[in-house]
């Protein structure tokens, strides 16, 4: 693999507890995660709510400070960039949001919102570039004069993508960009993201709770649970032959069309524990059917498994894999 464009090492984020008199326990959203994304590579992050996947995306963009660990771009830590360098860096790192309704300013015409990225960084005359961007995401030049409420969810998501592209970024965090969309529209947007990646050489961190979607779009996938990585590796092998008990449960719980693919359902017991009060040792052990006493002792290391570049954080991976 080529050198990483953006790399996170031992990244952690703890949100302090709330409350004035009796502080609630701090929430450990992300705990000691390593990620690297090479140019033109798409890395998927899969997990359920509370897994810390969105926090990871914000940390990688420098939109919130990390509690520990570092993020480097081209080998330089984010904290090195100051003043005008920071603003130039901002051009290179962009984000697409989940909610197509909340992510556009309802009071401004979309053309002006897309032009922001061009004007802010003095990238020349905005008008033509806005038209080009709109065409790039499958909309028309005339749409620039409209307000967000005049568009459907899928169209708004395209506008959000055009806005992110307005600074000509190298790296895009897509935070559940298709979760709020209808399935027929989902496929359009996934296709658009795949095209952009191919045509513009865009590196991507694709955050989703939907493993099949990630398998479609991404080269590699990271499976998160309660702030930690359970399994990571090449997307298709992980999708077709998951090793970690959590990845297996997640995949078997995903509703499938094809009855033959619907293997025996692994039904997890109970709900995910609160990120404010995670279990000791392996965070998944409380819902894992393979859990043994040793699982509670130490946090399992993310260790290489098999020959396909996969890493799994499970002490019983060899037994059950």
Listed residue (207, 11, 179) closest to 99, CA to CA: 179
* Three-state SS at 110: helix
Shortest Cβ distance from residue 107 to another protein (Å)? Answer: 4
- How many C-beta atoms surround the C-beta of residue 210 within 10 A? 16
* Residue closer to another protein, measured from CB, 104 or 315: 104
Dist CA 96 CA 167 (whole Å): 13
Residue 210 Cβ vs another protein, minimum distance, rounded to whole Å: 7
Q: Is the dihedral of CA 304, 309, 314, 320 positive or negative?
A: negative
Which residue, 190 or 317, is less far from another protein as judged by CB? Answer: 190
Which CB atom, from 70 or from 252, has the smaller least distance to another protein?
A: 252
| Residue 123 · residue 168 · CB < 8 Å | yes
Q: Tell the smallest beta-carbon distance from residue 9 to another protein (Å).
A: 22
DSSP state of 18: P
Closest CA to 146 of 103, 95, 181, 107: 107
Task: Measure the CA–CA gap between 70 and 121, rounded to whole angstroms.
Answer: 26
- Nearer Cβ to another protein (34/48): 48
Q: Considering the complex, state which of residue 182 and residue 301 has its C-beta at the smaller distance from another protein.
A: 182
How near is the Cβ of 233 to another protein at its closest, in Å?
A: 16
Q: How far is the CB of 2 from another protein (least distance, A)?
A: 25
């Amino acid at each position: 693999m080529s050198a990483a464009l953006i790399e996170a090492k031992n990244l952690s984020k703890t949100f302090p507890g709330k409350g004035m008199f009796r502080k609630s326990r701090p929430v450990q959203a992300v705990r000691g995660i390593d990620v690297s994304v090479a140019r033109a590579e798409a890395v998927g992050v899969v997990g359920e709510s509370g897994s810390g996947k969105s926090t990871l995306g914000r940390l990688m963009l420098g939109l919130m400070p990390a509690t520990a660990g570092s993020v480097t771009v081209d080998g330089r830590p984010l904290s090195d960039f100051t003043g005008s360098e920071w603003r130039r860096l901002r051009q290179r790192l962009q984000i697409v949001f989940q909610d197509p309704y909340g992510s556009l300013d309802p009071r401004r015409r979309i053309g002006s919102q897309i032009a922001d990225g061009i004007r802010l960084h003095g990238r020349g005359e905005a008008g033509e570039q806005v038209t080009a961007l709109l065409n790039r995401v499958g909309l028309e030049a005339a749409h620039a004069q409209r307000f967000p409420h005049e568009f459907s969810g899928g169209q708004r998501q395209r506008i959000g993508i055009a806005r992110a592209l307005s600074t000509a970024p190298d790296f895009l965090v897509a935070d559940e960009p298709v979760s709020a969309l209808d399935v027929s529209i989902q496929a359009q947007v996934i296709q658009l993201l795949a095209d952009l990646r191919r045509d513009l050489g865009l590196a991507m961190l694709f955050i989703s709770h939907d493993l099949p979607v990630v398998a479609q779009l991404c080269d590699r996938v990271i499976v998160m649970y309660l702030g930690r990585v359970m399994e990571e590796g090449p997307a298709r092998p992980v999708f077709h032959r998951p090793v970690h008990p959590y990845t297996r449960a997640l995949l078997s719980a995903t509703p499938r069309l094809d009855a033959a693919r619907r293997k025996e359902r692994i039904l997890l017991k109970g709900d995910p524990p609160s990120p404010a009060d995670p279990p000791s040792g392996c965070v998944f052990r409380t819902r894992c059917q393979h859990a043994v006493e040793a699982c509670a002792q130490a946090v399992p290391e993310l260790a290489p498994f098999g020959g396909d570049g996969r890493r799994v954080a499970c002490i019983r991976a060899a037994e059950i894999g």
